[in-house]
Structure 1
């Protein structure tokens, strides 16, 4: 494991890969586009409202969603950048609680702003006479991204522990997680609630693929090996869905996640490595690099806010007399292009306003971080409303409660400390003394 040991302190371990930035940005655009093809609320003559997932209703959607289900790739990329961030922090004198504090603040602060604004806006709409059914529909639809936040945060908080197992034996770690996934899947028919524990095992297994990529495992494999990994994982995926062990629709397989997402993660990691030279070249193009450098620092805000904007647009259209194409018709599909462009345009001012919540709160070098109990309490406070929403559904009351819990978590976490090694230790380690990077570092070192 010499390569892994050197990666912990070598400069190569902290240099960003432009391919990571570009792939992350492309995946984010695909998510926005996919949601624009799904959301279609319908107002009936009796005044009731329902929402249709048009993409899921299409016969051709299953193979398309097989290709467009890029959520595992997000976790692979998160594994790459998360392991790099953890090693930098550890080399600078930080510990697992410092890492948890940074990750919680990075993800919870923008979500807190979203929940607070949604709760306030929907209450105003309710007081203005909007039907409670419409309010509930918008609450449920607009808050859908929160499941990803919960899953991603769980995986990220596990990085200090999982990195220790990874450094001992990457392959054994991955196989152990894979075995846990299969075990849980085999019991989900008997104990349905047990299936939700795969929110941990599935995404940690996919994240481990990112750890392996960060340490050069896939880079050291031949193109033949990578093609074989891609083909075999997809063949196995086709087998387990074809015989009916798992649904063929990848959206159905995502909540709670199952083995299909791990197989997709293997395939997507192999494809990412195969395409890495070309993607890296594109990522170095000046104008692309400039766009990604700006958008990458606000990726969480884009993800959190795009669906509330889309749902809000759809809800407002229901209140107008404008002609509306029938969901799934040719006119409806052509209308997805201006809908997507409108969402992107509206995202610009929203992200400019609320994107600042993604900035890390800085502190002087003498500042002390919160106690370990405060960090643990903050994590519990965050997961209480998220778990409640996953099990019982999201309501307007829970939306307000979630905003309050997230705000309490931020208060408990406080300011970010900047621990400094003693001069002798810092000189011996030959590493930077500051835990926190400067604000101008680009996307995949901050996410």
Structure 2
């Protein structure tokens, strides 16, 4: 593992990833009805006792807080080397869409073959929908990261005003979404950019950083405000319902989780420094995006294929169903291992030592548009087999437009090197991609 990495951020990301994968194994529950129709139930999400639990375990804001920390530090380091905002956008898109392009292509090929083999179209649609949930995160995270250079400049000039402006946009969308439901999807950008800004504050550190009492006050205050909004009936108390499209409740959770990350940083740093923890985090973090993108499609595929067999299918929520969850998790890990061996390398830095050059701004912007055409369609109309094929083609075209990451993006300015000295941030960033 690189010595300049912030192990606390690596640990936080690893924890979030494990929690998401384990949680999804307790949610996906396809049901084959007597009339032959197939539906999918969210067994865990339908449990009343789960609402207060998911209030604590809804860690998606923490993903974006961590992305803000690492992203703004990567951007500052890139600027110190003479890089541009388009270099940053190029690198971010390549790191994220290369694994996604392969996922979409494999899913389209496999499901099309299943359709030709006579598999029920409803089962195919169920499996196609399995790719939709991880892709919404990819789209939201990519939108936040593509806006990061602009938001970092605004943050440098007026940090609190920038955060207040984004928060105002989130609230405005929430107020108008009742009249125009499609507007709610704007918060896929506004909300997650606002949460990402919280990571900027943590990355800044310095003498004005809040102390432990202030951090505890932020955690308590944000949860009290969130509880008040739920009690007034303005928002649902189920944080899964609030997730897609997101609303103000996720920003309040972001405040709480960002403060908790700082409050417990000494304990997390000690835990992350243990030899066994460093090894586990290193292995898990190396292919985190591949695990995230593939785990739910594989889970949906496994569940869907079991419907076609005589294998016992206990009803969701029964004792037999719950006892079977560890076996499902083990089976999912078994399916993920060969996927990581085959496609995990796509997450590694796609850099050529002497030939990778910056792409023209027009190529980078065109690639972003090409990527978001199928993504927006899927968000508004749902993911279909045809859209899987179109999305794979669009993502592949974007990769061709982007080429390779410029060398200076990943070349550290070591002592005696030709580049300018790098800033020493209060938090050591995990330089990405």
TM-score (norm 1): 0.90
SS at match of 1:40: strand
Quote how far apart the aligned CAs of 1:341 are: 2.1
Q: Distance in 2 between matches of 1:104 and 1:275?
A: 32
SS at match of 2:129: helix
Does the alignment pair 1:84 with 2:86? no
Quote how far apart the aligned CAs of 1:125 are: 0.8
1:60-71 counterparts in 2 under 5 A? 60-71=49-60
SS at match of 1:444: coil
Name the counterpart of 1:252: 241
- The answer as to whether partners of 1:202 and 1:262 remain within 8 angstroms in 2 is yes
1:51-130 counterparts in 2 under 5 A? 51-130=40-119
Name the counterpart of 1:438: none
Does the alignment pair 1:430 with 2:416? no
Name the counterpart of 1:195: 184
Quote how far apart the aligned CAs of 1:367 are: 4.1
Quote how far apart the aligned CAs of 1:427 are: 6.0
Change (3 A) 1:120 1:227: same
Does the alignment pair 1:325 with 2:314? yes
Quote how far apart the aligned CAs of 1:366 are: 5.2
1:285-300 counterparts in 2 under 5 A? 285-300=274-289
Name the counterpart of 1:445: 431
Quote how far apart the aligned CAs of 1:389 are: 0.4
Does the alignment pair 1:301 with 2:287? no
Q: Distance in 2 between matches of 1:378 and 1:275?
A: 40
Which stretch shows the higher mean deviation, 334-343 or 226-235?
334-343
Q: Distance in 2 between matches of 1:443 and 1:395?
A: 38
- The answer as to whether partners of 2:370 and 2:395 remain within 8 angstroms in 1 is yes
- The answer as to whether partners of 2:173 and 2:183 remain within 8 angstroms in 1 is yes
Q: Which runs of 5+ in 1 are unaligned?
A: 1-13, 433-441
Does the alignment pair 1:138 with 2:127? yes
Change (3 A) 1:54 1:163: same
Quote how far apart the aligned CAs of 1:446 are: 2.6
1:327-406 counterparts in 2 under 5 A? 327-365=316-354, 367-406=356-395
Change (3 A) 1:367 1:427: closer
**CA deviation map 1:4-52 (0-9, x unaligned):** xxxxxxxxxx932211101100110000011111100011222221111
Which stretch shows the higher mean deviation, 354-363 or 203-212?
354-363
Quote how far apart the aligned CAs of 1:336 are: 1.1
Change (3 A) 1:219 1:128: farther
Q: Distance in 2 between matches of 1:446 and 1:245?
A: 38
Which stretch shows the higher mean deviation, 322-331 or 236-245?
322-331
Q: Distance in 2 between matches of 1:318 and 1:324?
A: 8
Q: Which runs of 5+ in 2 are unaligned?
A: 412-416
**CA deviation map 1:380-433 (0-9, x unaligned):** 000000000000111100000000000000000012222599xxxx8683359x
SS at match of 2:324: helix
Does the alignment pair 1:177 with 2:172? no
Q: Distance in 1 between matches of 2:211 and 2:294?
A: 40
Q: Distance in 2 between matches of 1:359 and 1:428?
A: 23
Quote how far apart the aligned CAs of 1:444 are: 3.4
- The answer as to whether partners of 2:78 and 2:408 remain within 8 angstroms in 1 is no
**CA deviation map 1:129-183 (0-9, x unaligned):** 1001110111012332100000000001111101001111222211111111111
Does the alignment pair 1:29 with 2:18? yes
**Residue of structure 2 aligned with 1:409, choices 388, 398, 407:** 398
Q: Distance in 1 between matches of 2:207 and 2:254?
A: 13
- The answer as to whether partners of 1:182 and 1:259 remain within 8 angstroms in 2 is yes
**Residue of structure 2 aligned with 1:167, choices 156, 160, 165:** 156
Structure 1 residue runs of 4 or more that deviate by more than 6 Å after TM superposition = none
Name the counterpart of 2:266: 277
Q: Distance in 2 between matches of 1:217 and 1:175?
A: 21
Change (3 A) 1:61 1:372: same
- The answer as to whether partners of 1:103 and 1:157 remain within 8 angstroms in 2 is yes
SS at match of 1:56: coil
- The answer as to whether partners of 1:218 and 1:270 remain within 8 angstroms in 2 is no
Q: Distance in 2 between matches of 1:428 and 1:51?
A: 54
Name the counterpart of 2:414: none
SS at match of 1:55: coil
Greater RCO structure (CA 8 Å; 6+ sep): 2
SS at match of 1:446: coil
Change (3 A) 1:428 1:45: closer
Does the alignment pair 1:231 with 2:214? no
